[in-house]
Amino acid sequence: MPEADLKLAILAAYKRLLRPLIRILIRNGVSFGEFSEVAKDVYVEVASGDFQLPDKNMTQGRIAILTGLTRKEVNRLITERGKKRKTNASNLNRVARILSGWHTDPEFTGPYGLPLDVPYDSPGQSTFAELVRRYTGDMPARAMLDELLRIGVAIETDGGRIKVLTRTYLPKADAPESLDRLGNAVRNFVETMDFNRTEIDPDRRLLERTVDADSGIRVSDLPIFQTYVRERGQFLLEEIDDWLSKLEPITENEREPIVHTGVGIYHYIKKTKDNTL
């Protein structure tokens, strides 16, 4: 495909990709100017991190050429990035690791694989404090417990034990974690699509499949389909989570490179003018 036609195809695809993302920005009062600054910053970050020539330092001049920004803008963005304070990381990943460990680790599960109600701390291994140490490492147990209680995925029983209520945590729409989840999910999916487009060997491409209702389905059938997809998708994800939990734990002295990987499943409904769902 000629370069000009490829650019047009890419921009058309990005227009479709950006539509739901721009809707979220407008809904939350983010202006084009604010989004533009973020886009410029990401252009500079990606150009400097992913397009460096072998054995050559990445200069601001080369970044300007790759991004189409002026050298003055590149310098400003790099300088401002260095001054910005690091924001506290979301607890989303920590919560997910705790819930997964609580449902798969033999020391925290009982008969039929059900998660145990555990004491906060006591002699022995099956305690909440040990669970936090094992699956987060960097967070105090009391702070983690307060967070699990706050978001409603665990409770303290009358007997003084801690009971987990769910294996999956879906943040509320107004929670910061929901936006963290949005960013991670979209990024991971697009990274998969981009990898598969550029990988020549079909056997190395990552799984990415879609099932469509060719002619659509009746509105009355949608709740039934939603329930079916939710139940089957959750079953598959838990099965994969169980498989992953059986691998040898990663240690501090690993000799092999570590790969961060996973699987995501989503159910989509195309938004149309006639779609009032």
Percent of the chain residues topping a pLDDT of 90: 56
Residues ≥6 apart with Cβ < 8 Å to 101: 108, 131, 134, 135, 245
Domain that holds residue 151: 92-164
Q: Is 244 helix (H, G, I), strand (E, B) or coil?
A: helix
17 pLDDT exceeds 80? yes
The answer to whether residue 240 scores a pLDDT higher than 90 is: yes
| Residue at which a domain ends, from 164, 194, 224 | 164
pLDDT, one tens digit per residue, over 59-98 is 999 999 999 999 999 999 998 876 664 444 567 788 888 9
Q: How far apart are CA 15 and CA 11, in angstroms?
A: 6
Q: Is residue 244 part of a domain?
A: yes
pLDDT the model gives residue 88? 45
Instruction: Tell me the per-residue pLDDT of 109-155, one tens digit each, with 9 for 90 and over.
Output: 988 889 999 999 888 778 999 999 988 877 899 999 998 998 889 99
> Would you state the pLDDT for residue 252?
77
Token match 């400003």: residue? 76
In 10 A of CB 265, how many CB atoms? 12
Query: Is the full-model pTM beyond 0.75?
Result: no
**How many domains, the chain?**
2
H or E segment to which residue 222 belongs: helix 222-245
According to DSSP, the β-strands at 154-156 and 161-164 are antiparallel
CB 115, CB 165: distance < 8 Å: no
Q: Are 95 and 151 in contact (CB under 8 A)?
A: yes
- Average the pLDDT over each of 14-23, 86-95, 158-167 and give the range with the smallest value: 86-95
| pLDDT for the residue numbered 55 | 81
Read off the pLDDT of each residue in 156-182 and give the average, rounded to a whole number: 82
Q: Is the pLDDT of residue 218 over 60?
A: yes
Residue 229 lies in a domain: yes
- Average pLDDT on 177-183 reads 80
Task: Look over the chain and give the mean of its residue pLDDT values, rounded to a whole number.
Answer: 87
Distance (Å) of CA 94 to CA 57, 105, 152: 36, 16, 15
- Choose one of 129, 164, 199: the last residue of a domain: 164
Q: Tell me whether residue 179 is in a domain.
A: no
| 277, part of any domain | no
Query: What integer is the mean pLDDT of 46-58?
Result: 88
What is the rounded distance in angstroms from the CA atom of residue 136 to the CA atom of residue 94?
Answer: 6
Region 155-160: mean pLDDT is 89
Domain annotation covers residue 129: yes
CATH number, residue 117: 1.10.10
Question: Is 2 a member of any domain?
Answer: no
Indicate the residue type of 79. T
- Letter for the amino acid at 223? P
Q: At what angle do helices 92-104 and 128-135 cross, to 10 degrees?
A: 120
Residue 136 confidence (pLDDT): 85
Paired strand residues for 164: 154
Nearest CA among 168, 188, 182 for reference residue 240:
168
Residue 141 belongs to a domain: yes
pLDDT for 275:
57
Flag whether 188 is in a domain. no
Domain boundary among 164, 190, 218: 164
Rounded Cα gap, residues 175 and 159, in angstroms:
31
Give the pLDDT band of residue 22 (cuts 50, 70, 90).
Answer: very high
> What does the alpha-carbon distance between residue 63 and residue 52 come to, in Å, rounded to a whole number?
9
Once rounded to an integer, what is the mean pLDDT over residues 177-206?
A: 90
Task: Give every CB contact of residue 147 below 8 A, 6+ residues apart in sequence.
Answer: 91, 94, 95
CA distance 1 to 93: 41
What pLDDT was estimated at residue 274?
A: 59
Indicate whether 216 and 159 sit together in one domain. no
Q: Which residue has the tokens 């060719």?
A: 214
Cα–Cα dist 59/51, whole Å? 11
Confidence tier at 174 by pLDDT (50, 70, 90):
low
Residue 118 phi/psi, 5° resolution? -120, 150
Mean of pLDDT values over 153-176: 84
